Amino acid sequence: EAGVAQSPRYKIIEKRQSVAFWCNPISGHATLYWYQQILGQGPKLLIQFQNNGVVDDSQLPKDRFSAERLKGVDSTLKIQPAKLEDSAVYLCASSSNHYEQYFGPGTRLTVT
Amino acid sequence: GNSVTQMEGPVTLSEEAFLTINCTYTATGYPSLFWYVQYPGEGLQLLLKATKADDKGSNKGFEATYRKETTSFHLEKGSVQVSDSAVYFCALSDPYGGSQGNLIFGKGTKLSVKP
């Protein structure tokens, strides 16, 4: 089966600009996650969707980050405006249960 | 709250050496425990898991045993290969501890295996 797809793979923007990342989960997976992985650290959950509803967004900086999951399938994560500290790899994962999450290759964001 | 602590790297070993990467956890409920691996330029892949105390997860020659008494889930491999060079992450999921089953990761341990 196809894995989790993410695009773009790399993005360089200047601070205060906007950026959007796209994720297509594994077919049939109801749960979708966005993680932020800062260099040298483990991934940190930003937001979790169950179908098209938000389950947990407690660690999402809502003043600049937003996410949506259209029709319970694809998802988009947006940052507006970006800050230098947003430089990280943004990982999307999907799951059909609570025990196994499948990760995409990630989008590496550099904010200059 | 829930947390994972794993040994800091980098770890450098010669091929065929024995590997141990320590991982301990703090959890309010009864978590499931995982090891994920991230090869250079790739996304995270699930390496192995254990869902209850005394379970042993194993895959590709790697093993880890869920030790509730010591709150540990150490990763071991008897003979590492150059192809095992990667970053290894210990993680927990605590579906009944109020975190909706989200994964909580350690900081990762970079392993380099020299021929």
Instruction: For residue A74, name the pLDDT band (cuts at 50, 70, 90).
Output: very high
Instruction: For residue B41, name the pLDDT band (cuts at 50, 70, 90).
Output: confident
Q: Report the residue from B45, B102, B106 with minimal CB separation from A42.
A: B106
Residue A82 above 90 pLDDT? yes
Tell me the C-alpha distance between B106 and B7, whole Å: 9
Contact B89 A40 (CB under 8 A): no
Residues 6+ apart with CB under 8 A from A39: A87, A88
Instruction: List residues bridging with B109 in a β-sheet.
Output: B88
For residue A54, the distance in angstroms to the closest alpha carbon of chain B comes to 11
- Segment A35-71, tens digit of pLDDT: 999 998 899 999 999 988 998 898 999 999 999 998 8
Please state whether A52 falls in left (phi above 0), alpha (psi between -120 and 50) or beta: alpha
* Amino acid sitting at position B91: A
Arithmetic mean of pLDDT, B68-96: 93
Percentage of chain B lying above the pLDDT 90 cut: 77
Residues 6+ apart with CB under 8 A from B49: A99, A100, B32, B33, B34, B35, B57
Arithmetic mean of pLDDT, A28-39: 94
Tell me the C-alpha distance between B9 and B7, whole Å: 7
A5 close to B (CB below 8 A): no
φ, ψ (nearest 5 deg) of residue A59 = -105, 15
Instruction: For residue B42, name the pLDDT band (cuts at 50, 70, 90).
Output: confident
